[in-house]
A and B are shown apart, each in its own frame.
Chain A
Amino acid sequence: MSKAARTLETGAAWLLGILWALPLAYALWTAFHPAQFSTHFVLRAPLTLENFAKAWDAAPFARYFVNTVLLVTMILAAQLVLCTLAAYAFARFSFRGREVAFLLVLVQLMIMPDVLIVENYRTMSRLGILDTLGAIGLPYMASAFGIFLLRQTFKTVPKELDEAARVEGASMLEVLWKVYVPLARPVYIAYALVSISYHWNNFLWPLIVTNSVNSRPLTVGLQVFSSGDQGVDWSIITAATLMTSAPLLVGFLLFQRQFVQSFMRAGIR
């Protein structure tokens, strides 16, 4: 390829890269400068953290953070336990009805809780747990995706290891805990990262089942805040927006490779 063509291509790649970074760069600019500079780009504009302080004081973001962290932790913990047990059953027990049961599990890959909002709301209402963190998390705890991913991994564990542990007198659950779980560590990490980002960012279902500060996660809190009586002070709204995505964003910047690999591993399966 000629040198000119290569330069042109690099230029095009960079143009796209800048275009892709622009919205976030714009948000950063707006959030860290006083309101009068929000659409006014001067190199010497003073930096400020006041927008963040104002946003923090204007809505119970501390509570929203706690809710989101609790929610994400609760869902992940439940997913890890439930998916591990189910995946072990599918990988190593040829019980009656296994194939049909596995197909029924896979149904959830297509029909996700995200689209069953009307009926799941009815169920939560009947259970009397509307507006709780439990109601947000329950539909996601048995994850077909997690079961599938772990089953694939468990199947690659040599049967001899399993049998050796049993000969030494380990019980079924001890074998699972001491042989299978340690070998699947990278898959657990990948799954955890994907699950955390998914549920940190999840919005529609939490919006539907919550209606108080006590159970609202960050995403819903942000929406209530930015569509509320803020008027349109974009500096503050943008600061709040960045604040809510900051933990994930910082985590991503620090563990970039790990994130990309996890998303990849989880997707390709």
Chain B
Amino acid sequence: MNRWNVHVHGWLLLLPAAVLLVTFTHYPTAATLYHSFFSTAKPSRPSVWVGLDNYRAMVEDPVFWQVLQNNLWFALGTIPASIALAILMAVWVNGKIAGRGLLRLSFFTPTVLPMIAVANIWLFFYTPGYGLLEQITGLFGLPSHNWLGSRSTALPCLIVVTVWKEAGFFMIFYLAALQSVSPHLHEAATLMGAGRWYFFRRVTFPLLMPTTLFVLINAVINSFRLVDHIVVMTKGGPDNATSLLLYYIYDVGFKFWDAGYAAALTLVLLIILAAFAVGQFLFLDRRVHYQ
């Protein structure tokens, strides 16, 4: 093949994918920025340039700040818990524990279920009056509580669902990493009288660090991307207590049909994701094993 051919063939092979990627990833990213400087078109008045008005409205919008704060709490509530549980599950399933196949099945099954189905099941779980949670708390003589209906417990309830769904998924990455840890290390440590916890803290955990970084990035993206359970369980309520950034974008864009403001909000989400992308590029790139 001559040199000119390489360029033509390379681009031709790439072309179909490139067209779709540009149309549905790069163009909309640029268009988000552009449209965030315009007002939303109304039947009586077409969309006009409004400069930074949408951003000004955003800074003054208490719901926006509430939603950002919710998202932060949601991330803080889901990420460390699901990672810690994932490590615990992986260590157990990797060891010689009785019934380990069943345990692995139980931990991993939530991963293959649709979030929307999971949310329906948990919605029933949390139902005031006769849901399973109410029945259990009832056994202990605790008063009835509307778990998803009160501001203080609604977001923690969603965090529990997310941790339940994600921990098993993250477990498999730790399981893979644990299986690559040499058994000799464990033998050597045992000979030297190292306790199990000491061994985990000083040997296993540091060896799992690349996996933890990888899982962390995934968990962060998920905490900004997954809102299916909110649509089903709370619709962002009560009083915006469970609305996350992407859910708010959905609300503004497709319930209030305020495309200009939704574009400004989307840009904030894109900046957050891009910041993590840069972080991943700087910190994680060296640790992932490219072939």
Q: Which residues of A contact B (CB under 8 A)?
A: 1, 9-10, 13-14, 16-18, 20-24, 26-27, 30, 39, 81-83, 85-86, 88-90, 93-96, 98, 101, 104-105, 107-123, 138-139, 141-142, 144, 147, 152, 155-156, 172, 197, 200-201, 203-204, 207-208, 219, 222-223, 226-227, 232, 234, 237-238, 241-242, 244-245, 248-249, 252-253, 256, 259-260, 263-264, 267-269
B117 and A241 form a contact (CB under 8 A):
yes
> Which residues on the B side are within 8 Å of A249 (C-beta)?
109, 112-113
- Does B18 count as interface, using CB distance less than 8 angstroms? yes
For chain B, the count of residues having a C-beta within 8 Å of the partner chain is 94
How long is the Cα–Cα vector from A115 to B230 in the complex, in angstroms? 15
Binary contact readout B260-291 vs A (1 if CB under 8 angstroms, 0 otherwise): 00110010011001101100100000001011
A264 to chain B: closest CB distance in Å? 5
Task: Check A30–B249 contact: CB distance below 8 A.
Answer: no
- CB contact between A197 and one of B16, B18, B109, B112 (< 8 Å): that residue: B112
Residue of B nearest to A107 (CB): B25
Considering only residues 1-52 of chain B, those with a C-beta below 8 Å from chain A are 6-11, 13-14, 16-21, 23-29, 31-32, 35
Inter-chain CA distance A139–B36, complex, in Å, is 21
Q: Does B148 lie at the interface of the complex (its beta carbon under 8 Å from any beta carbon of A)?
A: no
B112 touches A204 (CB 8 A): no
A234 — which chain B residues lie within 8 A by C-beta? 124, 127
B9's partner among A22, A119, A172 (CB-CB below 8 A) is A172
User: Is the beta-carbon distance between B31 and A222 smaller than 8 angstroms?
Assistant: no
Shortest C-beta distance, A201 to chain B (Å), equals 4
Hey, which chain A residues are within 8 Å of B168, CB to CB? 20
| Distance in angstroms between the alpha carbons of A10 and B185 in the assembled complex | 24
Bound together, the chains give a CA A24 to CA B109 distance in angstroms of 9
B158 close to A (CB within 8 Å): no
In the A-B complex, the 10 residue pairs with the closest CB atoms? A95-B10, A93-B10, A119-B28, A201-B114, A142-B20, A89-B13, A139-B24, A86-B17, A142-B17, A110-B277
A170 CB to nearest chain B CB (Å): 13
B225 touches A264 (CB 8 A): no
Which chain B positions have C-beta within 8 A of A268?
173, 176, 214
Report if B188 contacts A (CB, 8 A): no
B253 partner residues in chain A, CB cutoff 8 A: 117-118, 121
Instruction: Say if the beta carbon of B76 comes within 8 Å of chain A.
Output: no
Nearest-CB distance from A54 to chain B (Å)? 16
Contacts of B131 in A (CB 8 A): 39
B116 at the interface (CB under 8 A from A): yes
Interface string of B163-185 (1 = CB under 8 A from A): 01000110011011000000000
Which residues from chain A contact B26 at a C-beta distance below 8 Å?
A: 104, 107
Contacts of B127 in A (CB 8 A): 232, 234
Interface flag for B218 (CB, 8 Å): yes
> Using Cβ atoms and an 8 Å threshold, which residues of chain A touch B77?
none
User: Is B227 on the interface with A (CB-CB < 8 A)?
Assistant: yes
- B224 nearest CB neighbor, chain A only: A115
CA distance A86 to B169 in the complex (A): 29
Q: Can you pick out 24 interface pairs between chain A and chain B where the beta carbons lie within 8 Å of each other?
A: A26-B125, A81-B16, A85-B13, A89-B13, A93-B9, A94-B6, A108-B21, A110-B277, A111-B270, A112-B225, A114-B225, A115-B249, A116-B25, A118-B263, A139-B25, A141-B20, A172-B9, A223-B116, A234-B127, A238-B120, A241-B121, A245-B113, A260-B104, A267-B214
